[in-house]
């Protein structure tokens, strides 16, 4: 199956409406990242700004966000004037500042050249600065709840899109990062509204046939009529230090 590129300018409204911060991810970014009021933080692939806006609000530090989608950035700028948002790509960050933390959330599978990105991240970080790549492992993709439960057709294209964790570790080492560690976080809760799935606010839903999408939505609606749907969003956080 050929995976067609997604035009994120066209889905910016759905992302702004439905995508939310994973509380455990945000907590770890702040704590493990050692973020304080004097930190300088860069989010790569910031999208509509969920995470970098939250970091700026909670830590009160200087924050930057970069993204290749003009519409995503437009939504982000509406939310926080104190964050510096800039159009650009991970492989050519274009910054000369030295940051304390550079991170990305659910973005690395959109990056065309992973080694180039990690070299760029290494360049813009200060000595002892940290990098965090928040992504999905193969196990997480195969056990997404409820995404894989109701849309099993998403697994194959997602495994093709997402780089393996071992590959990312290798690229980080080649770029000069050390003390590479990984942790997994989850946030179990009950899903009472599936509008985000109807609106395809998750890019995996754009990669499956419409018939498969409709089948999954019908099953979700049927199960939701009997009560909330169990939801356990998980992420793998891959850390490194310059």
pLDDT of residue 15: 56
CATH classification at residue 41: 3.40.50.150
Residue ranges of the chain with pLDDT lower than 70? Answer: 1-19
Q: Tell me, yes or no, whether 228 lies in a domain.
A: yes
- For residue 183, which phi and psi values (nearest 5 degrees)? -135, 155
Starting at the edge strand that comes first in sequence, how are the strands of the sheet with 234-241 ordered? 84-87, 62-67, 40-44, 99-105, 125-135, 234-241, 178-186
Does 26 fall in a domain?
yes
> Tens digits of per-residue pLDDT, 64-97?
999 999 988 999 999 888 899 999 999 999 877 7
- Cα 96 to Cα 76: distance, rounded to the nearest angstrom: 22
Q: Is 28 helix (H, G, I), strand (E, B) or coil?
A: helix
Domain that holds residue 53: 12-241
Q: Where are the beta strands (DSSP E) in the chain?
A: 40-44, 62-67, 84-87, 99-105, 125-135, 178-186, 189-191, 229-231, 234-241
* Residues 196-209 pLDDT 10s: 999 998 989 999 99
**Domain assignment present for 4:** no
- pLDDT for the residue 72: 86
The number of domains in the chain is: 1
* Whole-number Å distance between alpha carbons of 139 and 40: 33
User: Is residue 6 one of the residues assigned to a domain?
Assistant: no
């Amino acid at each position: 199956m050929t995976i067609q590129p997604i035009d994120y300018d066209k889905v910016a409204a759905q992302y702004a409406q439905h995508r939310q911060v994973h509380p455990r991810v945000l907590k770890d970014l702040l704590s493990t990242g050692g973020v304080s009021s004097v930190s300088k933080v860069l989010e790569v692939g910031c999208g509509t700004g969920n995470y970098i806006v939250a970091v700026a609000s909670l830590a009160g530090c200087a924050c930057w966000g970069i993204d290749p989608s003009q519409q995503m950035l437009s939504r982000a700028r509406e939310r926080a004037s104190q964050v510096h948002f800039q159009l650009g790509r991970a492989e050519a960050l274009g910054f000369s500042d030295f940051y304390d933390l550079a991170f990305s959330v659910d973005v690395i599978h959109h990056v065309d050249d992973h080694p180039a990105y990690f070299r760029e991240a290494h360049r813009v970080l200060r000595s002892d600065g940290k990098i965090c790549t928040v992504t999905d492992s193969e196990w997480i993709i195969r056990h997404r709840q409820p995404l894989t439960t109701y849309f099993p057709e998403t697994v194959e294209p997602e495994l093709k899109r997402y780089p393996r964790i071992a590959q990312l570790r290798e690229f980080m080492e080649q770029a000069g990062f050390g003390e590479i560690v990984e942790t997994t976080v989850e946030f179990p809760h009950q899903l009472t509204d599936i509008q985000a799935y109807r609106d395809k606010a998750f890019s995996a839903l754009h990669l499956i046939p419409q018939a498969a999408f409709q089948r999954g939505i019908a099953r979700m609606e049927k199960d939701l009529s009997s009560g909330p749907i169990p939801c356990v969003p998980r992420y793998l956080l891959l850390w490194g230090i310059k």
